[in-house]
Amino acid sequence: MKLWEKNTSVDKKIEHFTVGKDREMDLFLAESDVTGSMAHIIMLEKVGLLEHNELNTLLDGLREILSTIKNGDFIIEEGIEDVHSQVELMLTRAYGELGKKIHSGRSRNDQVLLDLKLFTRNEIREITGLVKSLFDVLILQSNTYADVLLPGYTHLQVAMPSSFGLWFAAYAESLVDDLRLLFAAYDVCNRNPLGSAAGYGSSFPLNRQLTTDLLGFESLNYNVVYAQMGRGKMERYTAYAMAGIASTLSKLAFDACMYTSQNFGFIKLADKYTTGSSIMPHKKNPDVFELLRAKCNLIMSLPVQIQSITNNLPSGYFRDYQITKEIFLPALEALKDCLEMSTYIMSEVEVNRTIMSDDKYGYMYSVEEVNKLVLQGVPFRDAYKQVGMQIEQGEFRYSTEINHTHEGSAGNLCNTEISGLMSEILSRFAFDKTDAAIEKLWRYKK
């Protein structure tokens, strides 16, 4: 069944090629499609295109389909083109000609735009929660190991004293900035395209503000042509935000891979979190970090893939957009998996508290010795040269005590302030508003 099919059947090879993975991808969008249809038919009744009793009947039918979806029993049948066709077919089977009325005043173009926005909006909510969970673990670990020193590096050369407090909290603060970008994507996503139809509006007296309110959107995509132009743009902006989070996770995974190696030995994973070698019995490989790094690096390519598909298209709808679903929807799931695993594994790492007892790290205290001389009145450049000469002549002596007190340093982590930044950005999303709107919509009765 195809919503557009008339008397001529499509060649089977053409059909197979054009449908592609649409049926598989549309299973991601099933709940969103039903939710959008509920708002649409409530609006149709308000503008006189459905009777009161017809609305209630269709709402009951859509709620039954929604229950099927939530129970994991919903399928798109063989020969059915997409989720929109499947939902309409189920309503038509149950209620006859009445089921066909739900498509009045919309096109599959604005229907899939809406589905993608509703789905992505919810995915952003889940990703945000997972980012917050990882953030909490990192801040907890930072506070726990605030006073445990580890070497800092520049150019992969021993540089200056750092601490596990700094290391964990650095990634926590990185996630705060990642959420700033994710909020920008959410802001773009949280605008209603429904009613733009095929991209040029409708002669029906649609009430687009009503569906906006029913679905908990912040506002409309007002211009109907732009609503269609937003296909691919919303996905690209969200992909940029996903890539930001993935970049943070990938860098964290790289550090962790390096720090678990015997040459560093800064952190350790319990045996149950590592894998072995088929020929080297001593091996304990940090595969979890390596796979996290690879998966996140792949996610970082997502914005370029989406832009490559959509960048040279003029205004209006083109079937090219279908391919964006095949890379965008699975990537959302992949990022959530990476966040969950990062949270789990970072809560379990064992920190080496005695790293700095190794003499090879002694030179990293050179800056501390220079600063001590400066505090005694020696000009910085003279102090630098004096300590440098001591190092060259093998006469360098140092203390392992450090005294860093400024904001964001090893002795003043500012984790309370970083947590405040996280709370502030989380408050911008206002997920409660959209949740309340959707729950009210699902229970709507005329």
One domain for residues 16 and 87: yes
Q: What average pLDDT does the segment 163-186 reach?
A: 98
Tokens 């970072």 correspond to what residue? 346
Do the domain assignments include residue 6?
no
Partnered with residue 409 across adjacent β-strands are 412
Share of the chain above pLDDT 90, in %: 83
pLDDT tens-digit profile of 365-416?
A: 999 999 999 999 999 999 999 999 999 999 999 988 888 999 999 999 999 9
Q: How confident is the model at residue 276 (pLDDT cuts 50, 70, 90)?
A: confident
Do the domain assignments include residue 1?
no
One domain for residues 132 and 242: yes
One domain for residues 270 and 374: no
Does position 44 have pLDDT exceeding 90, yes or no? yes
Q: What is the CATH number of the domain that holds 327?
A: 1.20.200.10
Do the domain assignments include residue 7?
no
User: Which domain, by its residues, includes 294?
Assistant: 109-148+161-356+414-442
Distance between CA atoms of residues 384 and 373, nearest Å = 9
Cα 420-424-430 angle, rounded to 5 deg? 145
Do the domain assignments include residue 155?
no
277 is catalytic: yes
Share of the chain above pLDDT 70, in %: 95
* Domain count within the chain: 3
- pTM equals 0.92
CA 179 vs CA 175, 347, 408: distances in Å? 6, 21, 20
Distance between CA atoms of residues 82 and 108, nearest Å = 10
Given 67, 219, 261, 277, which residue is catalytic? 277
Given 155, 203, 278, 282, which residue is catalytic? 155
Does position 335 have pLDDT exceeding 70, yes or no? yes
Dihedral through CA 6, CA 12, CA 14, CA 17, nearest 10? 120
Q: What average pLDDT does the segment 213-241 reach?
A: 96
One domain for residues 426 and 388: no
pLDDT tens-digit profile of 259-272?
A: 999 899 999 987 78
| Both structure tokens of 161 | 């004293």
Does position 3 have pLDDT exceeding 60, yes or no? no
Tokens 């790290």 correspond to what residue? 361
One domain for residues 397 and 419: no
133 is catalytic: no
One domain for residues 341 and 364: no
Per-residue model confidence (pLDDT) at position 4? 43
Q: Using CA of residue 19, residue 58, residue 221, residue 30, what is the dihedral sign?
A: negative
One domain for residues 345 and 237: yes
